[in-house]
Amino acid sequence: MEQKIVEYTVKGSGFFPYDMLRYDASWPARSEDAGALDPSEHGTTREVTLRSSLNRCPTEGRWSSFGWCVQKVTQVAWLVILSAIMALPAFAGDREKHDRSHRREHHNYIIERQEAYEVQGTPSDRIIIGRREIDVYPDGSMYEGNALVGVKHDE
């Protein structure tokens, strides 16, 4: 069963009935609405827009028992669509991370260093520390990927 998200506005004064958030499975729609829940605002009449994930409208009778009235109710979106939209950045980030690791895995830094005349020949040693792979060349230079990480001096 799909679950819809309902947006509704309540208007009232006095202390905000926080228990209604639990009862109607609601939360403030925007940060301004969250600020309107502040107990220091209890003397002023204010409107608060809330969202609920219940498959029904908010309980107007219960809201009115606290001195607040439900003014406007609209269906915002289907939760399935909303979840898919919220997940898109995560998928894009995973794809980008995969692309970077894939490129790095198949990149030949040894040939690139030789073409740039940074080193002569091939590495004489490779030091592996965890996931780090450090190539040591006959002249003592030490590279990790494209970065010079040190120079080895023979004693």
Q: What digits encode the pLDDT tens for the residues 85-103?
A: 555 565 555 555 555 555 5
Asked whether residue 137 falls in the same domain as residue 70, the answer is no
pLDDT digits (tens, 9 = 90+) for 43-82: 778 889 998 887 778 888 999 998 899 988 887 655 445 5
Task: Report the predicted TM-score, pTM, of the whole model to 2 decimal places.
Answer: 0.47
- The 10 Å Cβ neighbour count of residue 58 is 21
Torsion of CA 75, 76, 78, 79, to 10 degrees: -120
Domain co-membership, 77 together with 113 = no
| Residue range(s) defining the domain that contains residue 142 | 109-151
Q: How many domains does the chain have?
A: 2
Q: How far apart are CA 6 and CA 123, in angstroms?
A: 64
